[in-house]
Amino acid sequence: MKSYRAAGALVLGSLLGAAGAQAITISYDYSYDTGGFYTSHPEAVTAMNAAAEVFNRFLDDLEPIEPSGPNTWKMNFTHPGTGAVQWVDNPVVPADTLVVFVGGRNLSGGLLAEGGPGGWSAYGTSDWLETVQYRGETGASLPQPTDFGPWGGTISFDTGTDWNFSVDSDPAPGQADFLSTAIHELGHVLGFGTADSWDAYVSGANFTGPVSTVVYGSSVPLSMDRAHWAGGTMGTVGGSLQVAAMTPIIMLGTRLLFTDLDYAGMADIGWESPPPGDANADGVVDGLDYNSWSCNYLATPVPPASEGGWNFGNFNEDDTVDGLDYNVWSLNYDPEGQRAPLPEPAMLAALAAGSLALLRRRRA
Ligand SMILES: [Zn+2]
């Protein structure tokens, strides 16, 4: 078993106050795990946290949802333990935080998991209704939306699957990879295949988002449900080709990490990614990020960048903080301290309703 040093995170904790933008936080709520999936598999929590790191570096500023006086709301979501619709009255969602209800139940039809953003109803001032729906992501309120600001959502995992819960080891033949599945479902919660700003770029059987189009080299083919890349679509992770994480099927015995193409899809939905070398995800590659690198220099093992290692100064896909990572920092170092997130989408297309998308497995 590998254990990851926390030194970088501790150093960052004392320095973040001086930084500008702050990354989002995915906050899991296990209280609806009525079937006891996470109690039976406590190691799944570690994998859930590793999956959150894929998205916890997005720089978007999400307004808090704080009901008071005439402003009330209810969230609704699929109860992860039963599959029924669950309503919660007047919860508080902190700034920059997405609440994700997680649990397990027996999913039929070969499903590994299902997930998506939650719904809501609200009463109050027009400002309040906009906060509940868009959380300050102004592009999300356009007639043809370019951004997404959900309160969070829900994920349920199949209890009848032979899961590999390890973060460090790939699944054995015949096993389904929990980390890969958690990453995939979080992608849906954050709008992949489910947000109006996703639908805005669906044109026939292709996705025409400008960032994705640049990464892929053309518009990207979609699966039949128009909520995933087409089966077998390739991206890269750490310079190596891999089937993209947001394809409809994860083969048993296979781990799918988030590729550059998957991140490009998130950028087209409206999520802002920090540049490579930005260890503290404040949007600027600067001396604070150098500190993270130097504090963890030659620390081993640390996670690869695609599993959150960037936070430790590990900007590539090995398990060591070394000179290669310094090169990434130095190539992206910005002495002016300007924020340099990925570009916001500029093209607009038709608007359609969101949907809950499912992930299927295929026996290898
Ligand atoms: Zn899916």
pLDDT of residue 4: 37
C-alpha 17 – ligand 1 centre gap (Å)? 36
pLDDT in tens, 144-193: 999 999 999 999 999 999 999 999 999 999 999 999 999 999 999 999 99
Q: Is 97 helix (H, G, I), strand (E, B) or coil?
A: strand
pLDDT of residue 21: 62
> How many CB atoms sit inside 10 A of residue 319's CB?
17
pLDDT of residue 327: 80
CA angle, 154 then 27 then 252, to 5°: 55
Terminus-to-terminus CA distance in the chain, angstroms? Answer: 27
**Eight-state DSSP code of residue 259:** P
C-alpha 65 – ligand 1 centre gap (Å)? 27
User: Within its chain, how far is the Cα of 169 from the centroid?
Assistant: 21
Q: Nearest Cα to 22, choosing from 30, 12, 32?
A: 12
C-alpha 158 – ligand 1 centre gap (Å)? 14
pLDDT of residue 343: 38
* pLDDT per 10-residue tile (average), the chain, 364 residues: 36 37 91 96 96 93 97 97 97 98 93 95 96 96 95 97 96 96 98 97 98 96 97 91 96 95 97 84 81 86 77 84 86 64 32 34 41
C-alpha 8 – ligand 1 centre gap (Å)? 33
Tokens 């890349």, residue?
A: 229
Residue at 229: amino acid letter: W
C-alpha 177 – ligand 1 centre gap (Å)? 14
C-alpha 272 – ligand 1 centre gap (Å)? 21
Q: DSSP strand E in the chain: where?
A: 25-29, 72-78, 85-89, 97-105, 111-117, 119-123, 152-158, 163-164, 176-177, 202-203, 206-207, 220-221, 234-237, 240-243, 249-251, 357-362
C-alpha 358 – ligand 1 centre gap (Å)? 5
Which is it for strands 176-177 and 163-164: parallel, antiparallel or unpaired?
Answer: parallel
The residues, ordered by sequence, that sit 6+ positions from 213 with a Cβ below 8 Å of its Cβ are 219, 220
pLDDT of residue 337: 60
Spatial distance between the Cα atoms of 158 and 41, rounded to a whole number of angstroms: 12
Per-residue CA distances from 287 to 17, 55, 56, 324 (Å): 14, 23, 21, 17
Asked if residue 301 has a cis previous peptide bond (ω within 30° of 0), the answer is: yes
C-alpha 360 – ligand 1 centre gap (Å)? 7
Residues with CB in 5 Å of ion ligand 1: 357, 359
C-alpha 247 – ligand 1 centre gap (Å)? 7
User: Within its chain, how far is the Cα of 287 from the centroid?
Assistant: 26
Per-residue CA distances from 336 to 189, 284, 332 (Å): 35, 9, 12
C-alpha 297 – ligand 1 centre gap (Å)? 37
Spatial distance between the Cα atoms of 104 and 293, rounded to a whole number of angstroms: 38
The residues, ordered by sequence, that sit 6+ positions from 182 with a Cβ below 8 Å of its Cβ are 47, 48, 50, 51, 113, 155, 157
Residue at 216: amino acid letter: Y
**pTM, entire model:** 0.81
Tokens 């297309």, residue?
A: 349
pLDDT of residue 344: 34
C-alpha 309 – ligand 1 centre gap (Å)? 25
**Eight-state DSSP code of residue 306:** G
Spatial distance between the Cα atoms of 29 and 45, rounded to a whole number of angstroms: 11
C-alpha 140 – ligand 1 centre gap (Å)? 22
> How many CB atoms sit inside 10 A of residue 117's CB?
23
pLDDT in tens, 220-273: 999 999 999 999 999 998 788 999 999 999 999 999 999 999 999 999 999 998
